[in-house]
Amino acid sequence: MACDLANPIFTDETKATAHMEADRWPDGVNCPHCGSFNVHKMAGKTQAGMFLCNDCRDKFTVRTGSIFERSHIPLRKWLMATYLMAASKKGMSALQLSRMLGLSYESAWFMCHRIREGMKPASPAPIGGQSNVVEADETFIGGKAKNRAYAKKEPKKHAVMTLVDRDGESRSFHIANVKAKTLREKIVTTVSRKSHLMTDELASYEKVGKEFSNHSGVNHSANEYVRLGGFVHVNTAECRFSLMKRAVFGTHHSISEAHLPRYLTEWDFKWNTRNITDGERAALALKGAEAGVSRIMDLTEPRTLKQKARAFLYWRKK
């Protein structure tokens, strides 16, 4: 995806559709229902952009099986929203997006969360490995009691843990608490045990640290933030938290607990793609959008008895 906002794909629906088709099907159009390449484009104004599979006899468009499916929002606005979210370092609020795209707040909010789903890695591999250093740290996101104006109830704090490979990717999780059992569950399922684990002085890390090839830590309560010539620290994880909180304070202002994991997905995606251009990052998000809908609801499987029968007959014929 080009990073020029004057690109016609952001203003012309026909060119936006053509761009999506070329990006999704570089080797030729294939049916998202049965995978067949035996398809043809349908004619007529009412069926513009629609294809018919000659094998399973299902109709589909470039939206089918993607996060754009069943949305009446034009594709050009989806492309613009994807680019703006991918290019904004501290995020893009749904209210800002609604003003820029001329949509209702509800539509913009819907788009933002679906795009975040597209940023989620389809099959994340463990981070770290032999000779790799992985930093683990935790923080709390939420309002402060002293900042209340009239609210009597103290705002709830949400615990977040981040695992960062110094030479690789980041994984962030919303966790119920910072007890040893909770932290261990996330660490051992995310980090290779061949890694060198770096933490702070929190006692919850002591036992799980023994399961890794090495475990080192710094004592923040004693004003120790780095040692051994700058090798032992968790400053990379602290940097991740700094970017997260800038997004909260400066852009979103408030994040509900129910949707916090999606925001963490967006922030991890931007960190993991920090060394590429905004256009390349937007293109990756667009690729993820093609599979993102299966993580919200499974729309790739036949949805009616008629479609199931067609798919069965197709595979039987093969």
DSSP letters spanning 119-178:
TS-SSPPPB--TT-EEEEEEEEES--GGG-SS--SPPPPEEEEEEEETTS-EEEEEES--
The pLDDT assigned to 307 comes to 52
Sign of the CA dihedral running 221, 222, 224, 227: negative
The pLDDT assigned to 70 comes to 86
Rg of the chain over all Cα atoms, to the nearest angstrom: 23
- Which H or E run contains 107? helix 105-118
The pLDDT assigned to 157 comes to 87
Give the fold, CATH level 3, of 133-257.
Nucleotidyltransferase; domain 5 (3.30.420)
Phi, psi of 125 (to 5 degrees): -90, 155
Q: Where are the domains of the chain?
A: 8-118+293-317, 133-257
The pLDDT assigned to 197 comes to 96
Token output for 292: 């993102």
Burial of residue 26, with CB atoms counted within 10 A of its CB: 0-12 exposed, 13-18 middle, 19 or more buried: exposed
The pLDDT assigned to 267 comes to 95
DSSP letter assigned to residue 212:
S
Residue 74 to residue 17: CA distance in whole angstroms: 9
Q: How many residues does the chain have?
A: 318
Asked whether the beta carbons of 97 and 107 are under 8 A apart, the reply is: no
Token output for 13: 């629906």
Long-range Cβ pairs for the range 274-278 (8 Å, 24+): 277/3, 278/3, 278/83, 278/86, 278/87
DSSP letter assigned to residue 231:
T
Token output for 297: 């609801």
The mean pLDDT values, 10 residues at a time, for the chain of 318 residues are 78 93 91 90 83 92 89 94 92 94 94 92 88 94 74 81 94 95 95 95 94 94 92 94 92 90 95 92 88 46 49 48
Residue 220 to residue 233: CA distance in whole angstroms: 10
Residue 307 to residue 314: CA distance in whole angstroms: 11
How would you classify residue 228: left for phi > 0, otherwise alpha for psi between -120 and 50, otherwise beta? left
Phi, psi of 140 (to 5 degrees): -125, 135
Residue 64 to residue 31: CA distance in whole angstroms: 9
Residue 165 to residue 163: CA distance in whole angstroms: 7
Residue 176 to residue 317: CA distance in whole angstroms: 51
The 10s digit of each residue's pLDDT in 253-276 is 888 899 999 999 999 999 999 999
Asked whether the beta carbons of 56 and 34 are under 8 A apart, the reply is: yes
Q: Residue 122's CB: how many other CB atoms inside 10 A?
A: 10
What is the amino acid identity at position 143? G
Residue 6 to residue 2: CA distance in whole angstroms: 9
